[in-house]
Structure 1
Amino acid sequence: MRSGGIDLSTDPRKTGVATIEWYTHGARLASASLGADDDSLVELIDHADRTGIDCPLGWPTAFVDYVVAHRDGGLDLDVPPTRAPLLLRATDRHVVRKAGVRPLSVSAERIGSTAMRCAALLSRLVEAGTAVDRTGGSGAVVETYPAAALKIWQLPFRSYKGRTTEAQAVRAKLVEGLATALPWLDLGGHENVCREHDDVLDAVVCALVAGLVLLDRCDPVPPDAVQEARTEGWIALPPVIRPDGPAVIPSVRPRQGSP
């Protein structure tokens, strides 16, 4: 099978992409690069069995209702005692509880601009007849959050973004850590581009999580959050990796024509 990863940005030049081929006893990073317009992203998604996207797939239901009520006159609007329901989706709160990291607020922070591009991309997929399930349980895409995945894997999840010497050093350590934590993953000669660009490295993590979703190794959406997840999106959290524990991936049936 093949999984894709997209570290989405408002700027196509800053959008990282990756694809991973999964074989009988492991996986290989087949491609990893920086720069992708919407046509390229649609092609990547079409050629993958599941693609992880590092971007919110929706907005908090309470926020959408609040904005619609304001548009329609706002006569019954009150400032809520806490703005948390307007700022964080059900999945964001779940990630805070399970992984101890807080995703950016799609309704109040700059990630909202990226989510607009993502919404247009999802619309394009649906119009073309591609199944989109924002819970990630089926369909072509799943929402991913590299920082949470890296923390769960006990790898560096902060200070690796940017062009500073410190960030580059952290990325080098992170690439080395991935190779150690996931010995079944062949980076396919793409180590340098992962060290050079944090957007590409994030895309690789997205592709890894998307593959683990396909292998049914990620946490399912809790039953009481399914309804919200269908509209707001849901971040897939990968399993904990323990060096002395069982392999993260079971045997995988190769794609047709794979070695």
Structure 2
Amino acid sequence: MSVRIVGIDLAAQAPKTGLCVLVEDGERVRVERLTLGADDATLLEATRGAAKIGMDAPLGWPDDFLEFLEAQRTGDAGSLCRFQGKAGMDRLSFRETDRDIHARLRKLPLSVSADKIARVAMRAAVLQTAWADELGPSPRDGYAALVEVYPAAALITWFPAGASYKHPEAGRQRRAELVASIRAAAPWLELSSQQADLAVAHDDALDALVSALVAWAAHLGSTQGPPTEHVERARREGWIHVPAVGLEELAPR
């Protein structure tokens, strides 16, 4: 039976949401679908029967932030005062996984509490509820059907640093380099010329492709998940899984 893997570059609205579906086919993994403009109904249909879903979106909020909101709602001055100053603001703004990514890769994810990505997380929360109805409960630590991914972090892990692939001018050239690097490092991946062109033309499509590749790595048990001391928090806040091996080591087994 073939294995289906789904990668989603989630945006707050459908037009900028990228979707990638991988299908294991013997010794190869085929990109069955790579598209933009995926609405919730499309995402739910595409993920039906998937072994793993990799989504580029925060799966939760910092524990401290939720405590802060409750303290503000109830007027708990003592709890509110615990978050004074920059250190307090950082605790409210970033999850444990965000701090981990920053420490290891020198790249700080956007704050789900204080940046526009919060709107993406809101959409992700609704999707998580729908997936739970169909796939069963999925803790946010990434060890069940759903795994949080961060394409930029994965690309840093796999390839030498270069110009931003999201840059309005230099981005297209960088995306072309990255797509070529993916093809060279993963000869087991079947990516059509049309799909490659889409990933070069649109960073959302490239992010969806990379999200699917990280989900494939997670399916193989080849990602770095939360350390033991952070597992409980990761189940609530979410945890960004980063590849533990290179693309060349992710051929079907």
TM-score (norm 2): 0.91
2:100 is the counterpart of 1:94: yes
2:8 is the counterpart of 1:6: yes
2:145 is the counterpart of 1:143: no
Number of the residue aligned with 1:134? 140
Residue type at the aligned position of 1:33? T
Q: Which has the higher helix share?
A: 2
Cα distance in 1, alignment partners of residues 235 and 179 from structure 2: 34
Say which of 209, 219, 223 aligns to 1:218. Answer: 223
* Cα distance, 1:188–1:47 mapped onto 2, change above 3 Å: farther
> Alignment RMSD, CA only?
1.8
Residue type at the aligned position of 2:174? V
Cα distance in 1, alignment partners of residues 204 and 55 from structure 2: 12
Cα distance in 1, alignment partners of residues 169 and 93 from structure 2: 34
* Cα distance, 1:219–1:150 mapped onto 2, change above 3 Å: same
Q: Deviations over 1:170-193 (max 9, x none)?
A: 111111111122222221331111
2:175 is the counterpart of 1:171: yes
Deviation at 1:32, TM superposition (A): 0.3
Cα distance in 2, alignment partners of residues 158 and 227 from structure 1: 36
Number of the residue aligned with 1:69? 71
Cα distance in 1, alignment partners of residues 68 and 173 from structure 2: 44
Number of the residue aligned with 2:46? 44
Cα distance in 1, alignment partners of residues 162 and 100 from structure 2: 18
Number of the residue aligned with 1:227? 232
Q: Which structure 2 residue ranges, 5 or more long, are not aligned? A: none
Q: Which structure 1 residue ranges, 5 or more long, are not aligned? A: 253-259
Number of the residue aligned with 2:207? 202
2:137 is the counterpart of 1:124: no
Identity %: 37
Cα distance in 2, alignment partners of residues 161 and 197 from structure 1: 9
* Cα distance, 1:173–1:156 mapped onto 2, change above 3 Å: farther
Cα distance in 2, alignment partners of residues 250 and 32 from structure 1: 20
Number of the residue aligned with 1:256? none
Cα distance in 2, alignment partners of residues 198 and 144 from structure 1: 15
Number of the residue aligned with 2:188? 184
Cα distance in 2, alignment partners of residues 239 and 90 from structure 1: 19
* Cα distance, 1:44–1:158 mapped onto 2, change above 3 Å: farther
Deviation at 1:249, TM superposition (A): 2.2
Cα distance in 2, alignment partners of residues 126 and 132 from structure 1: 7
What is the number of residues matched between the two proteins? 246
TM-score (norm 1): 0.89
- 1:150–1:157: 8 Å Cα contact kept in structure 2? no
Cα distance in 1, alignment partners of residues 135 and 190 from structure 2: 33
Q: Deviations over 1:109-138 (max 9, x none)?
A: 110111011111112222445332211111
Cα distance in 1, alignment partners of residues 28 and 102 from structure 2: 30
* Cα distance, 1:251–1:126 mapped onto 2, change above 3 Å: closer
Deviation at 1:87, TM superposition (A): 1.1
Q: Deviations over 1:208-236 (max 9, x none)?
A: 00011010111132000001101100111
Deviation at 1:25, TM superposition (A): 2.7
- 1:13–1:36: 8 Å Cα contact kept in structure 2? yes
* Cα distance, 1:65–1:159 mapped onto 2, change above 3 Å: same
- 2:198–2:205: 8 Å Cα contact kept in structure 1? yes
Q: What SS is found at the alignment partner of 2:29?
A: strand
